[in-house]
A and B are shown apart, each in its own frame.
Chain A
Amino acid sequence: MSEPVSRPDPKSALAVEISGLHKWYGTFHVLAGIDLNIRHGEKVVICGPSGSGKSTLIRCVNALEDFQRGEIVVDGVVLTKNLKRIDEIRRDVGMVFQQFNLFPHLTVLENCTLAPIHVHKMPKAEAEATARRLLARVKIPEQADKYPAQLSGGQQQRVAIARALCMNPRIMMFDEPTSALDPEMIKEVLEAMVELANDGMTMLVVTHEMGFARQVADRIVFMDSGQIIEINTPEAFFTNPQHERSKLFLSQILR
């Protein structure tokens, strides 16, 4: 893999600290007391049945969702309703969505350089150089001047990864990055994610790709009904799940 991305020293020993997190949608208790710490460089895969609150959990980390009780600290910054704090955290945390969410009116290159230029005030030439380097890293340097609609789903998702990396984040979050893809395109996206993991990126991944989890994850977090049921290493989780619900989930997903 190419050169490691240089990042300033972390401000805190932990990348993400979530403690006593509760969230309600009206009367529905979607997150019911989540405690989770993620170290720098750690890769954590969150899995669980749909509706278990795993997407909501990671969306709380960069304040795309609010929460009613508990505390989230991202790289030493406490997440509050203060917009400055929120923006500070969002600059540190890259996010990749299930539906890619590329900006259709901008070229691939412009998608990648928009935030560095307008948020980091990076000179345009430098932003473009960074973007081209990162597009090469996800193996689509030749697509830089096309528009998102001209690309396949797998290529679009790799652009989304490059776009997030252009902000030089400390933490990358993936919200079911392969769920909207045709099977033959899942592999190319997972390969990009594996390479990113091998580079030492801190990663928080919601996915059903158990092969990826087994290969990359340091820990697997299994959630159900808004609670963390089990946290385990991949080997232990797949070979010897501790909880009945984990066993049931694995039996359904691994067939």
Chain B
Amino acid sequence: MIARSPAMTENDIVYVRTAPSRALSPPITSVGFIGWLRANLFSSWLNTALTLLTAALIVWLVPPIVRFLFIDAVWSGADREACLATGMQEAGACWAFVHERLSYFIYGSYPVAERWRVNLFFALFAFGSAWMLWLDAPRRGLGALFFFVVLPVTSYVLLTGSTLLGLSPVDTSLWGGWLVTVVVTAVGIVTSMPIGVVLALGRRSSLPVVRFLSVIFIEFVRGVPLVTVLFMASVMLPLFVPPAWSPDKLLRALIGVMLFAAAYQAEVVRAGLEAIPRGQYEAGRALGLGYWKLHGLIVLPQALRVTIPNIVNSIIALFKDTTLVFIAGIFDFLRTIEVARADPKWATPVTSTTGYAFAAVVYFICCYLMARYAASVERRLARADRR
């Protein structure tokens, strides 16, 4: 009802609405499935062209891949006979080969009787990682102690052996496969981060000698390919050092990876440090905080937070770079697959493709999980930042 002004009479009002009219439903072309299609796939001629092109690509690529990996795939068999093409039918992926050599891909040449030690290491590592990565986990301080102190020591004793504990020594030249990939990646990540932070701080130090040494190290290592670093460590070093002094081959590769990753982490962390406003330093100093407390409590927590995407980026790159340790004669996961595919027992036209497909799937799953985890951490921090 509308308020009537005194001048109005009953006859002036022709029609009065007593209820609001029903809202019109939106046009069919802007909501629901059709609306979604128009908005996302066919919003412009360029978008339409891309949609059609992508659809064509999917039709062209996906069926053969699915066919190769699943439909035509051979799932069981004793040797190459199982995976050979029969008559007119083309052979698919030879999963029987992967299945049979899987323990080699995981443990390398680690003695079969001692492989329980590797399994125990995997279990401890998974437990420690989960404790550290689960941000709401109870007693995370204890978890850090376990992950950074207990785990490395235990793993070292467990994997290399100790006559004192009745564990027969296993030379690192026998290590291989996924075990080596995990060890190199974990050691690389855990050691490169603190070294990288120190180098980044050193590069911004007001002490000329510290700054100079940091810059020299970072620029030198960044200027050299990882392959070269590993090659130097494995081939050149023994030429200059007496054999008795020459450290273990795996250890040399680990140090090479560590120094290489540290130089990259240093630049990532430095970018974060540059992003912290000068006022934060001044406020910290004005409160009487010394250099280490200022950086440890105020600057680094903020700097590392803004660089999480970049840190994860270099961690993923490091994970994939570990495949280069084969240069030093170490049999990492990818290398064991490469060795196995050359085995005459499994020599078929599809063995190599299968092996590489398997490696690709495993590496992709790991990298994708790392990226998703990082994204969830970022979302969590963003939620805290919205505040």
Contact = CB atoms under 8 A, between A and B. Distances in A.
B290 A87 contact: yes
B342 to A, nearest CB: 53
B297 A95 contact: no
Contacts of A95: 283, 286
Interface size class of B (residues with CB under 8 A): 20 to 34
Interface in B372-387: 384-385, 387
Contact of B288 (A64, A87, A99, A163): A87
Interface string A50-64: 000000000000111
B286 A150 contact: no
Contacts of B385: 104, 149
Interface in B99-115: none
Interface string A212-235: 000000000000000000000000
B287 A105 contact: no
Contacts, number: 63
Interface in B48-102: none
A90 B285 contact: yes
Nearest to A84: B290
A167 B283 contact: no
Interface in A82-129: 83, 87, 90-91, 93-95, 97, 99, 101-105, 114-115, 118-119
Contacts of B305: 105
Contacts of A146: 387
A163 B302 contact: no
Contacts of A83: 290
Contact of A103 (B293, B298, B387): B298
Contacts of A115: 287-289
Interface string B235-271: 0000000000000000000000000000000000000
B288 A101 contact: no
A25 to B, nearest CB: 15
B283 A118 contact: no
Q: In the complex, which of the residues A63, A83, A99 has the most CB atoms of chain B within 10 Å of its own CB atom?
A: A99
A179 to B, nearest CB: 14
Interface string B101-132: 00000000000000000000000000000000
A249 interface: no
B280 interface: yes
Contact of B282 (A64, A119, A147): A64
Nearest to A107: B387
A163 B301 contact: no
A191 B318 CA distance: 56
B387 to A, nearest CB: 4
B279 interface: yes
A146 B302 CA distance: 17
Given A103-B298, A105-B302, A149-B385, A90 B286 contact: yes
B287 A101 contact: no
A95 B384 CA distance: 28
B283 A102 contact: yes
B282 A105 contact: no
A90 B287 contact: yes
Given A147-B387, A149-B385, A150-B387, A101 B290 contact: no
Contacts of B277: 101
Interface string A145-168: 011011000000000000110010
Interface of A: 62-64, 83, 87, 90-91, 93-95, 97, 99, 101-105, 114-115, 118-119, 146-147, 149-150, 163-164, 167
Given A90-B285, A103-B298, A104-B302, 5 more contacts: A64-B286, A103-B284, A114-B297, A115-B287, A119-B288
